[in-house]
Amino acid sequence: MTVAGLAACLSRSQDDKIRWKLVWGFLEGDRWEQAGAQPALLADEPPLTGDERWDALLGALAEHLAAGHDLAPPAWTGFRVLRRPWFPAELPALRAHALAHAPAAFRKHGVYLAAADLGTA
């Protein structure tokens, strides 16, 4: 699945639990994709999901994965930044952990998700 395909799936669901499962599924698919094919999964600008938080998360995710391949982020990611930070975790202790451990790309986009949370797929 491409990040554009992920966005289409996210826009069809209003249930955050399902949305997170889709994100984890995308990350798992990226891990299994051949190294040379991974950057192509991020190239096409995804459609907007109808929720700026998830749009920013897609930008952060693409930028984070591109950095992992030693590539510049796709141009479309620069426009997916929240004005007000989003902490997907509801518990205060998890929010503090995310504040301290969010990857740079996620902090840049205003999405505070701990790096360890990206590996839970």
For residue 80, give Cα distances in angstroms to 16, 20, 52, 120: 19, 18, 8, 24
Give the pair of three-digit tokens for residue 51.
């929720």
Provide the CA 15 distance to its chain's centre, in angstroms: 17
Alpha helical stretches, state H, 16-91: 16-32, 40-43, 52-68
Q: Which pLDDT does position 60 carry in this prediction?
A: 96
Q: Which residues pair with 111 in a beta bridge?
A: 86
Q: Which pLDDT does position 107 carry in this prediction?
A: 95
Give the pair of three-digit tokens for residue 31.
């891990």
Q: Which residues pair with 86 in a beta bridge?
A: 111
Q: CB count, 10 Å around CB of 97?
A: 17
pLDDT by position in tens, the chain (length 121): 899 999 999 999 999 999 999 999 998 887 777 777 777 888 899 999 999 999 999 999 999 999 988 889 999 999 999 999 999 988 888 888 889 889 999 999 999 998 877 765 4
DSSP one-letter string for 1-17: --HHHHHHHHHT---HH
